Amino acid sequence: MRLLVLLYAVVSYFIFFAIFVYFGAFVADVFVPKSISVPAKYSENALLINIGLLLMWGVQHSVMARGWFKEMISSVVPHQVERATYVLVSSLTLAVLMLFWQPMEGIIWQVENELAQQVIWVLFGFGWVLVLLATFLTDHFDLFGLRQGWLYFVKKTYTPVVFTKSFFYHWIRHPMMLGILIAFWSVPMMTLGHLVFSLGMTLYVVIGMYFEEKGLARELGETYTSYQQETKKIIPKVY
């Protein structure tokens, strides 16, 4: 049983990793057969389908992260695999979004200057690096369910990760979300479909930060509310 829990966590993580790498290429319009702006037959229902896919992603990602939902399914999904299950379901939901995403005609902007294109791609890469780095500044293995599976496997009691301010977290509270926004908007060619995607994901990020902060303030109390007063949400203070 303990080995199965650990294997479940590991498999869920590698499924996430594979889909996440594909997602980066999907957003960048490189290396994958179907990307966010790939030319294809235009569907007159493309906008409605894409909005529905974004809503599906946002609702799943937000609802499963809420404390009341975790309590509700605690009798079905034990704590040891709860996070790994969240990671797995979120990854599969993202895969569905990419699979059924509909191309939309129209170009909002297109940067022709080669130097400007290179700068934009550097920003794009920086966004993804910031996302990855932010996961390790908290606890990458806890965030993706590996720590829970490992502790259960070695018969150790799970303890929540202690809240700490490290590196980017000294200046902003959500470096991961900042990285996501940079990556989604830093493209040399913004098609209409990519714009719809970026706007939808930006709305999700804003709503997600609101509920996450409410939960952290409730869980950590004055420790987090003081931290909120000392730092900015995603844009660092300029001294």
In a domain, 175, yes or no: yes
In a domain, 102, yes or no: yes
Nearest of 169, 179, 236, 181 to residue 206 by alpha carbon: 181
In a domain, 131, yes or no: yes
Q: What residues have CB less than 8 Å from 82, skipping those under 6 apart?
A: 70, 73, 74, 145, 148
Q: What residues have CB less than 8 Å from 219, skipping those under 6 apart?
A: none
In a domain, 237, yes or no: no
Q: What are residue 5's phi and psi, to 5 degrees?
A: -60, -45
pLDDT of residue 108: 93
Q: How far apart are CA 227 and CA 217, in angstroms?
A: 10
Does the pLDDT at position 239 exceed 80? no
Please list, residue by residue across 168-178, b when 16 or more beta carbons sit within 10 angstroms of its beta carbon and e when fewer do.
Answer: bbeebbbbbbb
Half-sphere exposure of 129 (CA within 13 A, CB side): 6
Confidence of residue 77 (pLDDT cuts 50, 70, 90): confident
Q: How far apart are CA 14 and CA 29, in angstroms?
A: 23
Domain that holds residue 80: 2-230
The 10s digit of each residue's pLDDT in 168-203 is 999 999 999 999 999 999 999 999 999 999 999 999
In a domain, 168, yes or no: yes
In a domain, 120, yes or no: yes
Contact present, 234 and 178 (Cβ < 8 Å): yes
Contact present, 191 and 124 (Cβ < 8 Å): no
In a domain, 239, yes or no: no
Q: How many domains is the chain partitioned into structurally? A: 1
Q: How many CB atoms lie within 10 A of CB 36?
A: 24
Mean pLDDT to the nearest integer, 87-115: 93
Confidence of residue 160 (pLDDT cuts 50, 70, 90): confident
Contact present, 10 and 86 (Cβ < 8 Å): no
Threshold 0.85, pTM exceeds: yes
Confidence of residue 63 (pLDDT cuts 50, 70, 90): confident
In a domain, 210, yes or no: yes
